[in-house]
Structure 1
């Protein structure tokens, strides 16, 4: 069994397509949330997720998109000079896409190759699980005895955009594949980050891809100055 683990797509279809081309033999794809916002192509990303039968959890930016669509007229009342990524994305989506985002659960539990997994977008804002008692409590709350830990217990998070693996014991770890789309300001990498898990073995990977279409698309939008600067930083 080979699984592709991705997170924080942020409306970046070009990164997704490059990763899929690099990993054509994956049997299953898991995504730890944030399909949309902060990128030009939300509809294409949702179509890609459907086409590839990606197993997702909902992220905080997915919730932002739902809120703008449901409660702020889909971003259509925003003046062009005040346009943020979230407003732009909401304008491109319709009822079917928003209903799909709403249908994505907050967390999932599953087994794969003798390991037990829980997947959720974030733990507590930007905090991480830093002790085994906290890990045990989180695991118990999410699993509720449904999955008995066989072999390793593994929690998958997204949100921080930092690719990492942390061990709390020899058989208790949490992992974050990083973002396929963009880094934090202190990380100069422009590559797409992701994991593969093959027969239980985790591989941390990154991939150079063509960002030019993303920057070109951003330059055509009347985004706020801050959001346009963000686009140059991510895609330039």
Structure 2
């Protein structure tokens, strides 16, 4: 089986379309959260997730958009020079999309090709699991069945936008596919980052894609200055 592992889409449907074309032979898709915010195409991303039957967990930015929508704070009364990406995303989405985001679980557990997985958007803010006891505790909290002693365990995180595979033992690791949309400011690369897992073998992938439609869409928006700087860094 071939699985596509993605995370931190941030309303960037263009990268999803390019990745899906490049990995057209994948059998299943898992997304470690943050479908929306900080991008121009939140509705299209949710449509893509539905169309491709992607298995997602909910991220902190998904919660931000849900909260803005539910509390009537989508920015309609905000001055034009104070509008943020989150306001714009909340305005574009309707009840059906928000209800879908709310329905996404915080974590998932599943098995694939002899490996057991737990997937959650983040651990504790930007902290990572750096010891086997922490790993065991996290695993025990999220898996309802008894784990066999020799079972291979894998945890999938998102959130940091930093691609990584971290081994705690030969049979216990956590991995982060990075972001399909953008890097942190100390990383100038612009390509999409993601993983594929084929018959248990993990492969780090990078893909250059056309960011022009994203920048053009952002330039048409009335966002506050700092948010526009973010857009130029992400998509310029």
TM-score, reference length from structure 1: 0.98
The equivalent residue for 1:47 is: 47
CA distance in structure 2 between the partners assigned to 1:107 and 1:91 by the alignment: 27
**SS where residue 35 of structure 1 aligns?**
coil
- Report the Cα offset of residue 151 of structure 1: 3.4
For residues 123-142 of structure 1, what are the structure 2 equivalents within 5 Å? 123-142=123-142
**SS where residue 74 of structure 1 aligns?**
coil
- Report the Cα offset of residue 147 of structure 1: 5.7
- Report the Cα offset of residue 189 of structure 1: 0.7
CA distance in structure 1 between the partners assigned to 2:224 and 2:127 by the alignment: 29
**SS where residue 66 of structure 2 aligns?**
helix
Change over 3 Å in CA distance of 1:103–1:140 after alignment to 2: same
Contact 2:10 2:181 in 1 (8 A): yes
TM-score, reference length from structure 2: 0.98
Contact 1:33 1:158 in 2 (8 A): yes
**SS where residue 66 of structure 1 aligns?**
helix
The equivalent residue for 1:94 is: 94
Contact 2:112 2:200 in 1 (8 A): yes
Residues 175-222 of structure 1, C-alpha deviations (whole Å, 9 max, x = no match): 000000000011111000000000000000000000011011111111
- Report the Cα offset of residue 80 of structure 1: 1.4
The equivalent residue for 2:192 is: 192
For residues 103-122 of structure 1, what are the structure 2 equivalents within 5 Å? 103-122=103-122
User: Aligned residues, how many?
Assistant: 236
Stretches of structure 1 lacking an aligned partner (at least 5 in a row): none
